[in-house]
Amino acid sequence: MFIEIEDLKPEPLHFHHIYPIGEIKFSHEDAALSAPVAIDFVLSHKDRNLHVDGTVETALHCKCSRCTKDFSRLIKTGFDLSYLPQPKWSSGDAEIELKYEDMEVAFYDGVALDIDLMALEQIELSIPMKFVCREDCKGLCYKCGADLNDGACLCKNEETDSRLSVLLEFKKKIDK
């Protein structure tokens, strides 16, 4: 879906759209979209310089990187971006880069704004490097593969026992 800059009126445009599942081509090793993607924004513009302020909402079905269990997570991300026509690269390149360094700026072709791409980029920016089902997920035992969230496995007991016996040995020495 595109917004043609030619068609824009002088006053800000309020845009709202819900993409059915499958329309936004999000692909990730450990996650998939599990809900429609709702995008909502206000677009204002000065000539072909655009300003977009809005939100993207959806849900992800993901796999925990520690315990490998599947879980769902709601995504709601806000964005506030300037879109400028892609500069024509010339001798003034460095100047252009410096000028936009501190701003949240993206470039577009100056003709039409790709809303699907914008929604996809916002989802990608909002997700973490690794998915964890909950902050304190204990993960799987590296020896037997048991889910440590369900309680300690036997390997863990052995470790605890051996540590305990070291302590007991130590205590014996002190007591002498």
Binding site for Zn ion (CB under 5 A): 64, 66-67, 133, 137, 141, 143-144, 146, 153, 155
Minimum distance from CB of 6 to Zn ion (Å)? 50
Minimum distance from CB of 26 to Zn ion (Å)? 22
CB 172: neighbour CB atoms within 10 A? Answer: 9
Query: With respect to Zn ion, which residue has the nearer C-beta, 45 or 66?
Result: 66
Half-sphere CA count of 155, side-chain side, radius 13 A = 9
Minimum distance from CB of 99 to Zn ion (Å)? 45
Q: Going by C-beta distance under 8 Å and a sequence separation of 6 or more, which residues neighbour residue 61?
A: 31, 32, 33, 34, 70, 71, 72
Minimum distance from CB of 130 to Zn ion (Å)? 11
Query: With respect to Zn ion, which residue has the nearer C-beta, 60 or 67?
Result: 67
Query: With respect to Zn ion, which residue has the nearer C-beta, 48 or 138?
Result: 138
Give CA–CA dist 168/163, Å, rounded: 9
Task: Give yes or no for a contact between 34 and 59, defined as CB atoms under 8 angstroms apart.
Answer: yes
